Chain A
């Protein structure tokens, strides 16, 4: 039993990421306002990015830079000391993609507002049914 509790507590960051994912999913499904849905989508995306970045964390790891010894002029690069940079690079792309989706989603929301004069989903559906 103690093993299970210590296992759960030692992986606390993953539980927080799950909570963030669920906040985003809840906002995307339940919220009625379109801007709230877009905020939920962004929270969902950043939670996934957070998960990927946290995979690469290493205890006592440093940034992947080459340090040149000032006395001898040589440089040593030991891969075991470095934080894994591959997830960082992948998630850099994901951040840019998330901003692009945010821009397009907000542009569509502004278009919808100009057409229906509201941002609430149920009112938009009611107006569509009336037509």
Chain B
């Protein structure tokens, strides 16, 4: 495990997480959540959990984002907070 890379990606994960819950546009929040999931996948491949990283990249960053975007298109895109 390379700790410099670990720290950089951990900060990116936290920034993406905060961004995903503060952005007022729900489509932007969904895309930021996809970025969050992908950063999480990188973090797991750094830790040596490649099986978990594979699953997260396909299921978390792929399917979740698509499902979120589909749900946002079927409902409203605006959010008050």
**Which A residues contact B (CB, under 8 angstroms)?**
12-13, 16, 19-20, 23-24, 26-27, 31-33, 35-36, 39-40, 42-43, 46, 49-50, 53-54, 56-57, 59, 61-63, 83, 88-89, 91-92, 95-96, 98-99, 102-103, 106, 109-110, 113, 118-120
In whole angstroms, how far apart are the Cα atoms of A39 and B48 in the complex?
A: 26
Contact A42 B52, CB 8 Å, known A33-B80, A99-B60, A106-B67: no
Contact yes or no, A88 B17, CB < 8 A? no
In whole angstroms, how far apart are the Cα atoms of A89 and B50 in the complex?
A: 11
In whole angstroms, how far apart are the Cα atoms of A13 and B8 in the complex?
A: 11
Contact yes or no, B72 A35, CB < 8 A? yes
0/1 interface trace, chain B 45-81, chain A, CB 8 Å (1 if under): 0011111100110011001100110011011100111
In whole angstroms, how far apart are the Cα atoms of A31 and B51 in the complex?
A: 33
The 9 closest A-B pairs by CB, nearest first: A113-B75, A106-B71, A27-B21, A33-B79, A16-B10, A83-B48, A88-B49, A53-B49, A23-B17
**A residues near B56, Cβ cutoff 8 Å:** 95
In whole angstroms, how far apart are the Cα atoms of A43 and B14 in the complex?
A: 10
In whole angstroms, how far apart are the Cα atoms of A58 and B20 in the complex?
A: 32
**B residues near A62, Cβ cutoff 8 Å:** 48
Chain A, residue nearest B50 (CB): A63
**A residues near B76, Cβ cutoff 8 Å:** 113, 118-119
Contact yes or no, A53 B52, CB < 8 A? yes
Contact yes or no, A39 B33, CB < 8 A? yes
In whole angstroms, how far apart are the Cα atoms of A13 and B21 in the complex?
A: 22
In the assembled complex, 21 residue pairs joining A and B whose CB atoms fall closer than 8 Å, in A order, are A13-B6, A13-B10, A16-B10, A16-B13, A16-B14, A23-B17, A23-B21, A35-B30, A36-B21, A36-B81, A39-B30, A46-B40, A46-B60, A56-B47, A59-B1, A83-B48, A99-B64, A106-B71, A110-B75, A119-B76, A120-B79
